[in-house]
Amino acid sequence: MKDNYLVVTADVEDDGTIGLNGIVSARGFSGTSEAWFNVSQVIDLSEQLEHFAKTTENPPEIFGGNLDGEGSLINKLLSLRFYSLSNYRVGVQVEFADHPYTGCRTEEIACVKVDSSP
């Protein structure tokens, strides 16, 4: 692969969930992460991306990670945010993190945040 890349794969389960696994490398920084979503969230993202590609309106974003017992996100593990660079080019900001255990110290969290723009 080239020096700069983003690869996202999907792990679809029978229970209506989907794991997005990401690998990114950009300008010397790299990272991997995974987060689980409802299939409907990923379908919504794909529809938003299709609309965005045609109009550059409403830049799509998806993020997920560890939830508390009530469904609120407490640790963001994977985030993909798309934005327009021009009428024909799209950028993506990628944020991946790894929390080794719930309640870990900030210093123990490995994370990478990279942007595709030059």
Sign of the dihedral through C-alpha 45, 37, 35, 105: positive
Using only C-alpha atoms, the chain has a radius of gyration, in whole angstroms, of 15
Give the residue-averaged pLDDT of 106-115.
90
Does pTM surpass 0.85?
yes
Across the chain, mean pLDDT equals 90
pLDDT at 113: 92
